[in-house]
Structure 1
Amino acid sequence: MRRTPLLALLVATACARPPQAIAPPQPGLFGPSSHPVLLPPRFGEPGLPRTDAEWRGVGREAAALLSQYVAINTTNPPGNELKTAEWLKAVLAREGITAQIFDPGPGKANLYARLAGDGSARPLILLNHMDVVLATPEYWKVDPFAGTVQDGYLWGRGALDMKRRWAPASGRGGWWSITRNWCRTPSS
């Protein structure tokens, strides 16, 4: 039986307050989406973006990360998950998040990262796959692995799939940053 490697991000946030949905995203670099953006309700936390300009900076940073991520050709087969997992581990490390890579075979990999909460609520597990399906070049206006911004959209294989859902979570002001601050207790 063939297994597809997953980017397994276990987030044991154990926070007492569930995230709440904010207004649905508008079309932009990440394209139209039917998925609400989940953010915790406490926006006044130290170190988090507060102004529109700061949030635009977060958006530019997320778009840059997505562009880099899309540029890693993870077509399965073979998948190239190990190269991707190493890149994701480095991105998480810049945010102070320790991650481990499990290598089940040549070029294959799983990534595991954990954010500990204070134990006051149930853990949350987020899973994501790193591979994409074949991108037939004649069906693309741009190189599917260039992460090109054109006509106000970021183009590339995976840009509207799991890669898109991961990139905005990373970096300053992203889900990892927000969750880490949000789940802190006054004593931490």
Structure 2
Amino acid sequence: MRHTLLVLVNDQPGVLARVAGLFARRGYNIDSITVGPSEEEGLSRMTIVTTGDDQTLEQVMKHLHKLIDVIKVQDISSEPMVGRELALIKVNASASTRPEITHLVEPFRAAIVDVGRASLVIQITGDSDKIDALIELLRPYGIKELARTGTTAMVRGNVIKMEKTSSRRSFA
């Protein structure tokens, strides 16, 4: 089963390496990981997508909680959530295929963000399935490069607020 974890951490050098190292040492795979500043200065928010059964997930969460810079770990897999990825796709595009490619990306609400002599760079955001579908449609034209972020996610509707506690910070 696929799990999406939100992890609030201190914004310190080495925290990402310690989290990734924990997964590696325990033999858990990270399907994707994104990290960026949170709404509170000094804290970063990680979105980790991993695969495993419920017992594996429980172990991962326990080990994450033991890391000193980890403030909060939340499994949002069963919550209604908004999850998005970004992909940049460089595709072969001659003068004759550009109109076809342009019409192909329009229904996906993707944008052509760079035009070269023999290529186009297409930007798309959305869920994994949407991005996978566009990639498959562009494959016959010849994908030269593909850069893809991991999932960034948030629980729908609920406002997650940070509160300071005596020694650690946590979601309220």
Question: Could you say whether these structures have the same fold, taking a TM-score greater than 0.5 normalized by the shorter chain as the test?
Answer: no
TM-score if structure 2 supplies the norm length?
A: 0.26
Structure with bigger RCO (C-alpha 8 Å, 6+ apart): 1
Query: Bigger radius of gyration, 1 or 2?
Result: 2
TM-score if structure 1 supplies the norm length?
A: 0.24
Which is strand-richer, 1 or 2? 2
